[in-house]
Amino acid sequence: MVHSRLRNYQDRKERKQIVMTLGGIIALFLFFAIFGVKILVGFSLLVDKFRGSSPKDQTQTQVIILPPQLDPLPSATNSSTLTISGEAKGDVTILLYVNDEQSLRTKIQENGSFRFSNVSVKDGINMISVKATDDKNNSSDLSEVLTIQVKKNKPSLDISEPSDNALITGEKQLVTVIGKTEPDNTVTVNDRIAIGKSDGSFSYDVPLRDGDQTIIIISKDDAGNETKVERKVTYKK
Task: Say what the pTM is.
Answer: 0.66
Do residue 96 and residue 141 come from a single domain?
yes
d(CA 78, CA 150) in angstroms, rounded, equals: 5
Sign (positive/negative) of CA torsion 119, 112, 67, 149?
negative
Range of the domain at 192: 157-236
Burial 179-209 (b: 16+ CB within 10 A, else e): bbbeeebebbbeeeebebeeebebbbebebe
State which H helix or E strand residue 194 sits in: strand 192-194
Classify strands 93-98 and 76-77 as parallel, antiparallel or unpaired: unpaired
Do residue 126 and residue 74 come from a single domain?
yes
d(CA 154, CA 203) in angstroms, rounded, equals: 21
Describe the strand order of the beta sheet including 101-107 as a list of residue ranges. Answer: 76-77, 146-150, 124-133, 93-98, 101-107
pLDDT band at 208 (very low <50, low <70, confident <90, very high): very high
Do residue 134 and residue 185 come from a single domain?
no
Do residue 55 and residue 81 come from a single domain?
no
Q: Which of 150, 178, 193 is the last residue of a domain?
A: 150
State which H helix or E strand residue 37 sits in: helix 2-51
Do residue 139 and residue 197 come from a single domain?
no
Mean pLDDT of 22-26: 72
Do residue 55 and residue 73 come from a single domain?
no
Mean pLDDT of 194-219: 96
Task: Please give the single-letter amino acid code of residue 42.
Answer: G
CATH (domain of 172): 2.60.40.10
pLDDT, tens digit (0-9, with 9 covering 90-100), for 136-185: 989 999 999 999 999 999 999 999 999 999 999 988 899 999 999 999 99
Nearest to 84 by CA among 66, 67, 103, 100: 103
Q: Which of 116, 134, 150 is the last residue of a domain?
A: 150
Q: In the chain, what percentage of residues exceed pLDDT 90? A: 69
CA angle 219, 220, 224 (to 5 degrees): 160
- DSSP code per residue over 73-136: --SEES-SEEEEEEE--SS-EEEEEETTEEEEEEEPPTTSEEEEEEEE--SEEEEEEEEEE-TT
Helix (H, G, I), strand (E, B) or coil at 22: helix
Q: Are 153 and 191 spatial neighbours (Cβ–Cβ below 8 Å)?
A: no
pLDDT band at 63 (very low <50, low <70, confident <90, very high): confident
Q: Which of 150, 178, 197 is the last residue of a domain?
A: 150
Do residue 176 and residue 122 come from a single domain?
no
Do residue 80 and residue 133 come from a single domain?
yes
More confident residue, 131 or 44: 131
Domain total of the chain: 3
Mean pLDDT of 57-61: 52
